[in-house]
Amino acid sequence: MTEGKENKEDEIEVFPFIEGETIDLVAGNSKWVPLVCKWQNDPKVRRYARNMWPVTIEDIKKWFEPSPDRHTKEFVVFTIYHKRDKRPIGSVGFGHINWVSRNANIFATIGEPEYWGKGIAIEANKLLIKYGFTELNFHKIYAGVFTPNKRSLRAAEKLGFEKEAILKEEMYVDGVYHDIHKFALFKRDWIKSNQTES
Ligand SMILES: CC(C)(COP(=O)(O)OP(=O)(O)OC[C@H]1O[C@@H](n2cnc3c(N)ncnc32)[C@H](O)[C@@H]1OP(=O)(O)O)[C@@H](O)C(=O)NCCC(=O)NCCS
């Protein structure tokens, strides 16, 4: 599989790690560094992802460097690759992985806003959650969403996350203090809801 937007000589090989219907979760490619940098700095995308600092190409390159021992790794990230359009459109992954308490923070960014509202975040998160519970053996996956991010609030609810807490006026964005909604999904509840669905 190759990225369609490239010239023939620049074709990028894509290695799906987890296969979905509309998208695959693929291993990152260092040729996508400028693209990821664009997503991180895009005013529309970064506002909801709460990136307050400019991100440089050098910063992003570090994400693609060989990771430390997998048993101490605190971070795992995939590129969301659109199968029909043959292009990378975002990133999804786990951060703050705690291998003793077996929990992690889930994050997702669809860096190309033209792909927002098409159910892609839901699909990518479902694939990642399954990976987290059935391959990495997480006990709990959590997320924090600030009030204006209606898409993420809706996505958390649809994915079966329960609201654990509201941190009042925790986040200052565009001159206003916003509440952060803390969500969590436990493996036992995820197993139950998957049994009900099938
Ligand atoms: C948040 C984000 C990942 C969601 O991705 P997405 O692919 O657009 O999400 P989905 O299409 O799967 O939609 C999720 C839900 O939000 C709903 N939604 C879409 N636009 C909405 C809006 N403006 N207001 C309220 N709900 C909305 C969708 O309808 C869907 O619910 P439904 O299936 O019941 O209809 C994406 O918008 C993004 O990357 N934003 C910028 C970065 C970011 O916010 N990251 C997350 C930080 S917590």
Residue 69 reports pLDDT greater than 70: yes
Residue 4 reports pLDDT greater than 90: no
Q: What are phi and psi of 69, to 5 degrees?
A: -45, 130
Q: Tell me if 124 CB under 6 Å of ligand 1.
A: no
State the alpha helices, DSSP H only, in the chain. 33-41, 43-49, 57-63, 120-134, 150-158, 187-197
Whole-Å CA distances, 196 to 160, 191, 192, 193:
12, 9, 6, 5
Average pLDDT over residues 95-109: 96
Give the separation between CA 187 and CA 146, rounded to whole angstroms.
Answer: 24
With a pLDDT cut of 90, the percent of the chain lying above it is 76
Q: Tell me if 45 CB under 6 Å of ligand 1.
A: yes
Domains belonging to the chain, first-starting first, are 8-141 (3.40.630.30)
- Which residues fall within 8 angstroms of residue 163, CB to CB, at 6 or more apart? 181, 182, 183
Q: Which two tokens stand for residue 111?
A: 């860096």
State the pTM of this model: 0.90
Binning pLDDT at 50, 70 and 90, where does residue 1 land? very low
Give the separation between CA 187 and CA 32, rounded to whole angstroms.
Answer: 33
Residue 8 reports pLDDT greater than 90: no
pLDDT, tens digit (0-9, with 9 covering 90-100), for 22-45? 999 999 888 999 999 999 999 999
With a pLDDT cut of 70, the percent of the chain lying above it is 92
Average pLDDT over residues 61-70: 77
Q: Tell me if 108 CB under 6 Å of ligand 1.
A: yes
Centre of ligand 1 from the C-alpha of residue 153, in Å? 8
pLDDT, tens digit (0-9, with 9 covering 90-100), for 167-194? 999 999 889 999 999 999 999 999 999 8
Which atom of ligand 1 lies nearest, measured to the CA of 109?
39
Q: Tell me if 152 CB under 6 Å of ligand 1.
A: yes
The pLDDT of residue 65 is 78
pLDDT, tens digit (0-9, with 9 covering 90-100), for 137-155? 999 999 999 999 999 999 9
The pLDDT of residue 2 is 46
Q: Tell me if 119 CB under 6 Å of ligand 1.
A: yes
Centre of ligand 1 from the C-alpha of residue 154, in Å? 7
Q: Across the chain, what does the average pLDDT equal?
A: 91
The pLDDT of residue 3 is 47
Residue 11 reports pLDDT greater than 90: no
The pLDDT of residue 195 is 80
Q: Tell me if 117 CB under 6 Å of ligand 1.
A: yes
